[in-house]
Amino acid sequence: MKEMSKEQRLLRRYLSRYRNLKVKEEYLVKELKELERDFNASAFHAVSIEGGGFSPMAHSPVPPYVMKNQELLSRIAKRKEATSKALAEIMEVIELLPDDGYEYTVVSAKYVSRMSGDEIADFIPCVRMTVYRILDRAIDMLLEKPKVQDILRTFEENL
């Protein structure tokens, strides 16, 4: 197996941005659902105060919940924006591949649809090793494009 060049690694990292952002976005959504589940499980447990009355402000979990909820919603919105931007940028690069071969399909399946090598092999159909050969060929094809070289220079400068 040949060693990957710096440019090949950089392009793979560039293309992986959408996948990575999507995973982080999904984690935040999961965290929000867990927060909502925990709040719903404890929200209606009345807190008794002296004299047998109930004070909604006494030891109420609502203010911290609301703050955490708003923080998560804000982080999710920012992550969605970053994810959408990354997807548009990545698709601009992927669109440089010819769509008459498997290169476009394999690269978009891996980096946009977030499919594993086995899933792509089942989809095409072929063996997993062929998927990786096609992916390597696609990466090399993209690296020949001046536009991709420019994008990678800018990407590397911003790392």
What pLDDT is stored for residue 67 in this prediction? 86
Residue 25 lies in a domain: yes
- Choosing from 68, 87, 106, the residue where a domain stops is 87
State the DSSP string of 131-154.
Answer: HHHHHHHHHHHHHT-HHHHHHHHH
pLDDT at 140: 97
- The domain tally of the chain equals 2
pLDDT at res. 47 = 47
- 122 inside domain: yes
Is 79 found in the same domain as 46? yes
Distance CA 57, CA 42 (A): 15
Cβ-contact 93, 151 below 8 angstroms: yes
Judge if 67 and 106 occupy the same domain.
Answer: no
pTM: 0.79
Q: Are residues 30 and 83 in the same domain?
A: yes
Are the beta carbons of 32 and 73 closer than 8 angstroms? Answer: yes
Give the CATH number, domain containing residue 114.
1.10.10
Which residues constitute the domain of residue 37? 14-87
Which residue numbers in the chain have pLDDT < 50?
Answer: 46-55
Domain match, 18 and 81 both: yes
Instruction: Say whether both 105 and 141 belong to one domain.
Output: yes
Give the up-direction half-sphere exposure of residue 136: CA atoms within 13 A in the CB hemisphere.
11
**pLDDT tens digits, residue range 99-141?**
888 999 999 999 999 999 999 999 999 999 999 999 999 999 9
